[in-house]
Homo-oligomer: A and B are copies of this chain.
């Protein structure tokens, strides 16, 4: 059995990290699937999905760490060609990835107490149009 839902949200721009756990959970409940997997995917190339403890300190630490690989003060070939100014956003998004799969048991997501599902907004400007697809597969 496959169930497909979607999620739209707006973000405050670069470095914004949004806790989407409860919204994904609602999709799992709507699916009626009790055992299986829940796949979360963000459409677009300047955002990413992962899990983290949703606590302001560690969110700040994660943003700092991503900037080690893709700092804001170097020249990006992407920006030189297209003038987008968000070369670093694309790089961070490709490294973390657009996709996460979480197990479903007893009709609910299985996560640690301090483990939330988050969208990382990596683009340099606020986005009103973040679209995610949520697919639940199982019995």
Residues of A within 8 A of B (CB): 1-2, 4, 35-37, 39, 41, 43-45, 50-53, 55-58, 60-62, 65-66, 68-70, 76-82, 87-88, 90-103, 105, 110-112, 114-115, 133, 135, 137-139
Contact = CB atoms under 8 A, between A and B. Distances in A.
Contacts of A114: 44-45
A90 B52 contact: yes
A18 B137 CA distance: 29
Contact of A95 (B58, B77, B96, B105): B96
A117 B105 CA distance: 23
B97 A36 contact: no
A61 B44 CA distance: 18
Given A53-B45, A57-B78, A90 B69 contact: no
A4 B108 CA distance: 14
B37 A110 contact: no
Contacts of A91: 58, 61-62, 65
A110 B39 CA distance: 13
